[in-house]
Amino acid sequence: MSQQQTVGFVGLGNMGGRMTRRLVDAGIAVIGYDARPGAAEAVGATPGANPADVARRAGVVLMSLPDSTVVEPVVRGPDGLLAGASAGSTLVDLSTASPESTVALHAEAAERGVHYLDAGVSGGAAAAEKGTLTIMAGGDAAVLAELSWVFEPIAARVHHMGAPGAGHTTKLLNNFLNGVALAATAEVMVAGRKAGLDLAQLLEVLNSSTGVNFATRERFPHIVRGDYLEGGLTGRLMTKDLALYVDLLGRLGVPSLNASGPLASFGLAENLGYGDQISNRVVDAIGDLAGGVRVHDKTEG
């Protein structure tokens, strides 16, 4: 296989693993690396020894990692992507990361003749599974356009948002609104349960009224039936994203007046032991404080 026909993928967790499987199923050869042994083989990829090895063997390398504290050593380390990447290759960071860090990595890659794109993704595990993610990218528009064959199996929409860092900035703004909607809807659903309302009917009302949001449309119709949609963004990662949003607004000089609510909600969830579970479990954390309320009738074993 030639380098041009091969994609590298570093970070094969909930999102990266699903995206890798989509690429493999589309007939694209993938060299994968994850800290967990066997992760590459599990999603149909050929394992790489380390990120540098992946970059040596693939002209395009995608990353899906928790945050900038992980992205930076993966890119910069002695066995990192820049150590193995050749001039003209492209690194695509699909993580939710600090735009400030991302801009610095763009510059370091450019010094070596390597293209770098920050390309936040949205849609969650379900969209990754179906190949219908939305990608919001920062960096060279021409480089982004050349990667349409890579994005086609994993994304329904690809938006060029502007200069380096613009993709990750857009992602943080989106994730903040996602966090607000999820935390606020969780609170409303617990209140609805305690008030004796039929929650399925309450959701029908909300979804045809001004309170409609992604959580009321896509999350809680499942949750009230006992399906928490496991496998998506954890509560701890949601808290991380919200903290990155607050940091971004501080650097922009914009007051973050609405961040305290979701930060408190997901901080509560983490303190009550839900941090490593899907962020939808924030409804259980709020329910715990409300007297052990659950918004579904399913008995959990």
CATH number of the domain residue 87 falls in: 3.40.50.720
Q: Categorize the per-residue pLDDT at 298 as very low, low, confident or very high, splitting at 50, 70 and 90.
A: low
Least confident of 9-13, 193-197, 231-235: 231-235
Does residue 104 carry a pLDDT above 70? yes
Tokens of 234: 């954890």
Among the listed residues 130, 171, 194, 298, the single catalytic one is: 171
Percent of the chain with pLDDT over 70: 97
Does residue 284 carry a pLDDT above 80? yes
Does residue 10 carry a pLDDT above 60? yes
Least confident of 4-18, 32-46, 258-272: 4-18
171 is catalytic: yes
Domain co-membership, 217 together with 269: yes
70 Cβ contact partners less than 8 Å away, ≥ 6 residues apart: 11, 95
119 Cβ contact partners less than 8 Å away, ≥ 6 residues apart: 92, 93, 94, 135, 136, 137, 138, 144, 167
The SS3 of residue 104 is helix
Domain co-membership, 136 together with 183: no
* 118 compared with 300, residue with greater pLDDT: 118
CA 121 to CA 161: how far, in whole Å?
Answer: 13
- Domains held by the chain: number: 2
Domain co-membership, 153 together with 180: no
CA 286 to CA 187: how far, in whole Å?
Answer: 7
Does residue 97 carry a pLDDT above 70? yes
Distances (CA, A) of 213 to 30, 219, 220: 36, 10, 10
Domain co-membership, 106 together with 133: yes
Q: Categorize the per-residue pLDDT at 299 as very low, low, confident or very high, splitting at 50, 70 and 90.
A: low
Domain co-membership, 156 together with 8: yes
Domain co-membership, 134 together with 11: yes
Domain co-membership, 15 together with 142: yes
CA torsion sign for 74, 77, 80, 85 is: positive
pLDDT reported for residue 1 = 40
Please, what is the end-to-end C-alpha distance for the chain in angstroms?
48
CA 42 to CA 61: how far, in whole Å?
Answer: 19
Domain co-membership, 220 together with 152: no
pLDDT reported for residue 5 = 76
Average pLDDT (165-189) is 98
Does residue 257 carry a pLDDT above 90? yes
Does residue 155 carry a pLDDT above 50? yes
